[in-house]
Amino acid sequence: MAKPRELNLSDWNAMVNAFHGESDRGAAVLAAGFVEHILGSYLRAIAVVPIAADELFSSTGPLSSFSQRITVAYAFGFINKQYYDDLTCIRRIRNHFAHHPLETTFTTKEVSDLAQKLSTIGYDFGAKTPAEQNRNAYLFACGMLAVGADKKIQERKKSAANPTEAKLKKAQLGDAANNGPS
């Protein structure tokens, strides 16, 4: 299977235009897919060994799913609790749409309850209906997460270009400084 085209923040506007032309289901899947991809790009960017990262993110690798990426990012401190909670809600909303294909909208109780948990739900989007408010909060949460991840990817690229500026001084297992318990 061919590797998907690498997305970055410059693709966000095209995704937003497509989002607005989609049904609730299409919009939810599209925006979550974008964020899932950007989260994967972020985790790949901080990987030290690219070949190992390729294995982790392969279609059968341990980081092939959105859920696994979210959990690993949070467990290792790469995202904060708010990002973790928002990403979890986005994933659960996307999954609800995917597994309830006929009857789900942004006003369906399960989806609406999750949308109400997003950190962006309180923003004034000028929405005229609860469906618009939930849909806009969802899109805005996806956007904030994508921007945050992209910013970290760009910082990582900059530090990789200037290795003397950002040397990580972490002992690895097997280093002379970390031979285990004495």
Average pLDDT over residues 29-53: 89
Nearest to 86 by CA among 121, 46, 54: 121
User: Structural domain of residue 40, as residue ranges?
Assistant: 9-161
Report yes or no on 89 lying in a domain: yes
Report yes or no on 166 lying in a domain: no
Report yes or no on 172 lying in a domain: no
Report yes or no on 4 lying in a domain: no
Report yes or no on 176 lying in a domain: no
> What pLDDT sits at residue 14?
79
Report yes or no on 169 lying in a domain: no
Report yes or no on 177 lying in a domain: no
d(CA 36, CA 143): 12
User: How many structural domains does the chain have?
Assistant: 1
What is the CATH number for 98?
1.20.120.330
pTM of the model: 0.81
Q: Give the chain's mean pLDDT.
A: 83
**Where does the pLDDT of residue 103 fall: very low under 50, low under 70, confident under 90, or very high at 90 and above?**
confident
Please compute Rg for the chain using Cα positions. 19
